Structure 1
Amino acid sequence: MDALTHTPTPSPTPDRRRAPRGRIALAATTAAVLVAGALAFGAAARTTAADPVESALEQRLQSLVDAGYPAALASVTRPDGTSIEVSAGDGDLSSDRKTPADAEVRIGSNTKMFVATVVMQLVEEGAVSLDEPIETYLPGVVAGDGIDGAAITVRDLLRQTSGLPESSEVVATDPFGMQDVYISGRDLLDIALAQPASFASGERWEYSNTNYILLGLLIERVAQRPLWEQIDERIVEPLRLEHTYLPVPGERELRGAHVEGYHADFPGELREITDMDPAFGWAAGAVVSTPTELNRFMQALFGGELVSAESVALMQDTVAADDPFHPDLGYGLGVQSYSLECGMVWGHGGDIPGTQTRNAVAPDGTAVTIAVTALPWAIADPADEAVLLPKYEVVMDVLDETLCDS
């Protein structure tokens, strides 16, 4: 998940600023996905092994393993709902277990798309207003040095223009130390609010996981139900997803077939970190899914299955993201836009200790998710940009090539 780990690196740092293509998470315009037609529910059928897309993807995933990632897995889901699922590398370094295709992984900041979807559903129901201050829904909760809950709107939170400081700068500096630690969403917010505001609300854009921790609290207050249940009832069940969930409080093990995730205190010294309490990410980055199910979710979201076309258009109303590497990067209401070789794409993407995911939907409705089982700075020295940045680039290159060739 973005900014959920802190590693001392040259500016812009990979965890806060995401090095080239690191802050990218992608998918397709609403119109393009709607034209693509209806998608099949449930587990998508695999194509034959002779498919040239699958052969090319196998080679690309092997290049990620060759680059130092323990394992890589990917899914290409076409507009008709059929999927190609490919994996490479070792699913478990201690046993050389092969990587299962379409395994469960922690999808980090892709969680923000799920949370934003629930918020937009509440907006459609009249329970939440985008331009209402957060003070209306959580009175007396959002206050601090330069922080005024009456001046921060729900739209500001969704679009990352609130100026709220980053809680993960404090709680996620030691992933192994936090591996078995539970921390509540309210405690995460209080940690953030103990710091001064980064800027006045609405003044500019800056990525902060705190925005989505606060949105999780908003959902729970308005719905009067836990966030995990709202995601399950509003997204997972309607789409018939079987391996997508927000872990319940205290849940540390992945529920289904999965790959092991790895992190490192020192680059290259990989240690398993699969079983962990992801509470430090919660509404900003704790969701679990598979590549194919994440594709299905993105296609459903941008295709108007989860919210109305009008709501999708609001989500795609972006502000310029202050990213020196990608001047055309736009951030909407929980989704990002970015140009690849085959055109503008939409989605999100995420980093969390043990997994990096990059995902997108192309203009024709084809969705691709790529996952690797370590973060770049676990396999490369974060102080050496010449080594580190290509580790980011290679994952995005595989996404770009696969999406645009499919």
Structure 2
Amino acid sequence: MKTSMRVRLRTAAAGMSALLSVLLVCAPPASAQPDRFGAIDAYIRERMEATHTPGLSYAVVGPDGPIHRRSWGTDGRGDRVTPRTAFLWGSIAKPVTATAVMTLVQSGRLRPDDRVTDHLPEFRFGGAAHAAKVTIRHLLNQTAGLPAAATAKVTDCLDAGCPRPAERVRALDGVRPLGPPGTEYAYTSANYLVLTAVVEAVTKRRYADYLREAVLAPAGMKGAIADAASARARRLAPGHQLLWGVPAAIADGVDDSGAGYGYLGGDLDDLAALASFQLRNARNVLSAESVRLMRQEAKLHNGAGTGAGLGWRIGGLGAPLDGAVWHTGATPGYSAMLFLLPEQNLAIVVQQNLHGLVHDGAIMHVGFGAARLLAGGRPDGAPSASTYYLTVGATTALAVAMLLAAGRSALLLRRPAPPASRLRRTVLTGAWVLAGALPWIIAAPIVVPIGPRQSWTWIPDAFAAICVAATAGAMTVILRLTLAFRSVTTIRPEAKRVSDHRPEPDRLPR
């Protein structure tokens, strides 16, 4: 018996020794992870400084929660950013919405290939014939034929009393499709606004209420923002936008029906919980098959890839992120990024309280660079913010020039009309009218596609400069036409003096 025990002990000791040897050989040095996290910290701080980001939180996440997290800077009220500071996440809402839709699929209340009109009769995008061919799957993978410009018609309604999702869908009636469903990929939040309306129609509940019960609570995201009331409860501070290069906390407001496409948010722990939940393959909420479908790249009818799954971005990034499942997002004044690295069973989440449409690439690059560092690579060169400064600089210079032109025209109107030939007068008037119309010509391709309201929401400084330039330009046109008309109708003094000495017709010699 004692011999048998000794043999067992020796065998166990040998096994433990072998196991320890394997661990010592295969495991990275103790300092490897801290060094990697330190490099990510330094990189993020560098990007914050380069983009003038006021506040940021990020975390490296495993299946059981955050492994490493940091917060820096201040929020829109000037308070220090902590892991409990609330942010908005923008389009990271889309894979969350896709998850909610898949819960309805699993319960049998919805099918991916159901026609949207079966659940939402008011959906008439592209006419009745086109709308009848659009399925839930087309909305999920952004192949319904809705163009990117459709986003402006149904999103970012921040006022009290905004229409519910089903009512907003009617604004898509007159939008021209890019092609038959399944033939063109175009990323637009309009697809997910329609999905929000579908979920409400199927569940007979507000989308935010169903989302909390079906996805947010099971994922451990109990503090998440899903409507205006929860934003107030979490004391969401205004986000920052650049005004002539200076961050300003002016982006305030939440689309009460926007959680399905972009107005979802929460603190760092909520966003980390979402990443952990996805690393666990949405266990207890979705089946393995549902998760597989969501992370499978959708194909167009011609076999071309789209780079999109059901809610997720699939691949599309260079090594070592070629296997990443990811999404980025932004609302006015806020931006966020989530990268799942399935091969390493890790994720990284970043949220910051700055965003602007014109310098989106420079702001978002912090997440891509941090993810590459986590995956063992090196960050690519960051996009330049020069486009933003050129846009704002050019529109501001145009506004100043038009104000000076209008001012000079007003001063000339107070003076007597100088003598001028008809040709010179015509040429000068035409040139000034063209100059006054220039801001309107420039504004058209910038403002018309997204509309004045969206322009003010997303590019406030450039839009303000364009408005000033357009107003001053219109004044210049009016004043210059008035000057031209006056010069035509006013008798020149020389001509008047000659006419005063002419004899009257009845006194002329006969």
Which residue in 1 is equivalent to 2:101? Answer: 119
Is this contact kept in 1: 2:89–2:263, CA < 8 A? yes
Question: Would the alpha carbon gap of residues 181 and 398 (structure 1) be closer, same or farther in structure 2, given more than 3 Å must change?
Answer: farther
Which residue in 2 is equivalent to 1:300? Answer: 277
> What residue identity is the alignment partner of 1:60?
Y
Give, in whole Å, the separation in 2 of the partners of 1:91 and 1:83: 24
Is this contact kept in 2: 1:315–1:334, CA < 8 A? yes
Question: Would the alpha carbon gap of residues 275 and 300 (structure 1) be closer, same or farther in structure 2, given more than 3 Å must change?
Answer: same
Q: Is 1:235 paired with 2:218? A: no
Is this contact kept in 1: 2:66–2:272, CA < 8 A? no
User: Which residue of 160, 163, 188 maps to 2:142?
Assistant: 160
Q: Counterparts in 2 of 1:200-349, with a 5 A limit?
A: 200-247=180-227, 250-251=228-229, 253-256=231-234, 260-264=238-242, 266-273=243-250, 275-279=252-256, 281-301=258-278, 303-305=281-283, 306-319=285-298, 330-338=307-315, 339=317, 340-349=319-328
Structure with higher helix content: 2
> What residue identity is the alignment partner of 1:204?
E
Shift of 1:194: 3.0
Is this contact kept in 1: 2:220–2:273, CA < 8 A? no
Give, in whole Å, the separation in 1 of the partners of 2:223 and 2:230: 15
User: Which residue of 44, 48, 53 maps to 1:61?
Assistant: 44
> What residue identity is the alignment partner of 1:289?
G
Larger of the two Rg values belongs to structure: 2
Give, in whole Å, the separation in 2 of the partners of 1:313 and 1:79: 17
Task: Report 1 or 2 for greater relative contact order, CA contacts < 8 Å, sequence distance ≥ 6.
Answer: 1
Q: What's the TM-score once normalised by structure 1's chain length?
A: 0.73
Give, in whole Å, the separation in 2 of the partners of 1:371 and 1:332: 23
Question: Would the alpha carbon gap of residues 140 and 255 (structure 1) be closer, same or farther in structure 2, given more than 3 Å must change?
Answer: closer
Q: Counterparts in 2 of 1:355-370, with a 5 A limit?
A: 355-362=334-341, 363-370=343-350
User: Which residue of 75, 80, 93 maps to 1:91?
Assistant: 75
Is this contact kept in 2: 1:108–1:352, CA < 8 A? yes
Which residue in 2 is equivalent to 1:39? Answer: none
1:177-228: CA deviations, max 9, x gaps?
9566734313432223332223221112111211111111111111111111
Which residue in 1 is equivalent to 2:110? Answer: 128
Q: Counterparts in 2 of 1:4-15, with a 5 A limit?
A: none
Q: Which moved more, 1:214-223 or 1:328-337?
A: 328-337
Question: Would the alpha carbon gap of residues 212 and 171 (structure 1) be closer, same or farther in structure 2, given more than 3 Å must change?
Answer: closer
Question: Would the alpha carbon gap of residues 390 and 110 (structure 1) be closer, same or farther in structure 2, given more than 3 Å must change?
Answer: closer
Which residue in 2 is equivalent to 1:20? Answer: none
Q: What's the TM-score once normalised by structure 2's chain length?
A: 0.59
Q: Secondary structure at the match of 1:98?
A: coil
> What residue identity is the alignment partner of 2:44?
L
Is this contact kept in 1: 2:65–2:272, CA < 8 A? no
Structure with higher strand content: 1
Give, in whole Å, the separation in 2 of the partners of 1:251 and 1:193: 30
User: Which residue of 358, 364, 374 maps to 1:402?
Assistant: 374
How many residues were matched structurally? 337
> What residue identity is the alignment partner of 1:222?
V
Is this contact kept in 2: 1:182–1:277, CA < 8 A? no
Is this contact kept in 2: 1:64–1:72, CA < 8 A? no
User: Which residue of 76, 79, 82 maps to 2:60?
Assistant: 76
Which residue in 2 is equivalent to 1:107? Answer: 89
Q: List gaps (5 residues or longer) in structure 1.
A: 1-49, 322-326
Shift of 1:312: 1.0
Shift of 1:263: 2.0
Is this contact kept in 1: 2:297–2:305, CA < 8 A? no
Is this contact kept in 1: 2:150–2:190, CA < 8 A? yes
Give, in whole Å, the separation in 1 of the partners of 2:256 and 2:244: 25
Is this contact kept in 2: 1:106–1:289, CA < 8 A? yes
Which residue in 2 is equivalent to 1:188? Answer: 168
Give, in whole Å, the separation in 2 of the partners of 1:61 and 1:141: 44
> What residue identity is the alignment partner of 1:255?
A
Which residue in 2 is equivalent to 1:26? Answer: none
Q: Secondary structure at the match of 2:339?
A: strand
> What residue identity is the alignment partner of 1:57?
I
